[in-house]
Amino acid sequence: MNAAQLLFYLILGIAAAAFVIGAIRAGRRSRELRWPTPLESVIGFVVAFFDTLGIGSFAPTTAIFKLRRMVPDQLIPGTLNVGLTPAALTESLIFVTAIIVDPVLLVTVVVSAAAGAWLGAGVVARLPRRAIQITMGIALLIAGSVFTAVNLGALPGGGVAMNLVGWKFGLAVGINFVLGALMSAGIGLYAPCMITLALLGMHPLAAFPIMMGACALLQPVASLRFFQTGAFAWGPSLGLAFGGVVGVFIAAYVVKSLPLIALRWLVIVVIAYAAFAMLRSAARRDDVIPALRKAVLEDVPALESLIARSARELSTQDYRPSQVEGALRGAFGVDSQLLADQTYFVAEQNGSIVGCGGWSFRSTLFGGDARSGRDASLLDPAIHAAKIRAFFVDPSHARRGIGSLLLDRCEREARAHGFLHAELMATLPGVKLYAAHGYVGTERVSFEVGPDETIEFIPMRKPLT
């Protein structure tokens, strides 16, 4: 084993350890952690099995999730990266048996791809559902085109170079940074990376460990971001992980080969349909970005109705019905002071209010008009943090970027008023939204919402600079 192999395995070991630690920590924080269903594990087995034989895994998995509506569109990129990481690490350990490529090129390209994945995952976690649908639809079309070109023999087979120097070195590093970022959005890296290195004249034996190392490292790196934001589905991810590792071993040591050309044509048909379905969903009228305006007193009845629907329907995984009903009598509700200060906004779509949220330059951190103990004293922007207040989204419009749209507006206005920090009291269902935008939480706190009934919130804070 040469020095390059030792370095390769060391990097993989660090990435794997970070992935496991990140998964454990995310699981302890999450209220959505669950074991996978048998079907989810079977899907993991199948896609990793064919990936090991050369079919690829991101595009087929996306197609399956979309066709069976197993994972919300906006959670697919995170689910792919988190769930398929164990299979990618396993494949690398099995297949990278010799490394004859320049160690400097190997490490530089792999680290560049991982850096792109880290930044890309942060961006993807903040994207609204429609943007992710468009990105995934395009990604599927690209994957289908690559598969078609492979089957037709239209892709380059590679050169004879075992190293890259000069502008080719820089180009390989830069392109793999972009590919790492795109992988966070669900665009697989295997084929584009191999094609790029082949076009630059590299021998396939030299290009293979670069491709495998980039994928095996950037997926855990991207997963760390998705663990932070929670923008992935636990059950399907665990199914891909458990079933995927088994699929890799079966394909590598038992089956070893299949008629891949026929299988690729079948995959192309499935991917094309899934791409059409994804883009069709993105084009639906109800995904049009809503307009924001300041709330007025005439909106109060509609706001009260929306807040009640949002709390009752979107909190079922985190709160008991008795907790929600208790909170609706004070902790959740319209704060008329925010309307009077003109710091509360509504998101309107087709004439209906589909979301609301605001900020405040007063001391009250949460609660509607019915909550006692509110403090209307003014804050000093140089000392105090602006308060992010009362965010609710209509259940029929959840996970479409409305919360992000409102939060961005509130932060911009607070910043314009001289505030350097923002803080809020997050409901448990709302933690993902705020974490995706850089808010950091502390320990949970409990508040009484009725006789012998409490509800838990998480204080969160972020700098606005």
* Domain ranges (residues) in the chain: 3-285, 288-463
Residue 420 has pLDDT above 90, yes or no: yes
Structure tokens at 429: 């269902």
DSSP label at residue 90: H
Residue 195 pLDDT greater than 90, yes or no: no
pLDDT band at 371 (very low <50, low <70, confident <90, very high): confident
CA 214 to chain centre: 19
Residue 365 CB burial class (10 angstroms; 0-12, 13-18, ≥19): middle
pTM score, whole prediction: 0.58
Would you say residue 287 has pLDDT above 70? no
- Rounded Cα–Cα distance for residues 126 and 106 (Å): 31
Counts for the chain of helices (H) and strands (E), in that order: 16, 8
Radius of gyration for the chain, computed over Cα atoms and rounded to the nearest angstrom: 24
Which of residues 55 and 297 earns the better pLDDT score? 297
Confidence band, pLDDT 50/70/90 cuts, at residue 266? low
The token pair that represents 15 in the structure block: 């990435």
Quote the percentage of the chain above a pLDDT of 70. Answer: 83
Residue 271 has pLDDT above 70, yes or no: no
Q: φ, ψ for residue 394 (rounded to 5)?
A: -60, 130
- The whole-number average pLDDT for the span 335-343 is 94
Tell me the average pLDDT across 419-441: 91
pLDDT tens per residue across span 49-67 = 888 876 778 878 888 888 7
Q: Which residue has the tokens 């429609």?
A: 130
Quick one: average pLDDT of 132-154?
A: 72
State the Cα–Cα distance between residues 43 and 27, nearest whole angstrom. 22
Residue indicated by tokens 């924001």: 292
Stretch 257-276: mean pLDDT? 67
- Give the confidence band of 383 by pLDDT, cuts at 50, 70, 90: very high
CA distance 280 to 186: 18
pLDDT at 362 over 70: yes
pLDDT at 26: 86
- In this predicted structure, the answer to whether residue 366 has a pLDDT above a threshold of 80 is yes
Please tell me the predicted confidence (pLDDT) of residue 140: 66
The arithmetic mean of pLDDT across residues 395-422, rounded, is 90
DSSP one-letter code for 443: S
In angstroms, rounded to a whole number, what is the distance separating the alpha carbons of residues 294 and 353? 12
Q: Summarize the chain as % helix, strand, coil (round to 5).
A: 60, 10, 25
Q: Please answer whether residues 84 and 57 qualify as being in contact, where contact means their C-beta atoms are separated by less than 8 angstroms.
A: yes
Q: Are 217 and 113 in contact (CB under 8 A)?
A: yes
- Where is average pLDDT lowest: 11-20, 273-282, 409-418? 273-282
pLDDT at 217: 81
CATH of region 288-463, choose from 3.40.50.300, 3.30.750.24, 3.40.630.30, 3.40.50.2020: 3.40.630.30
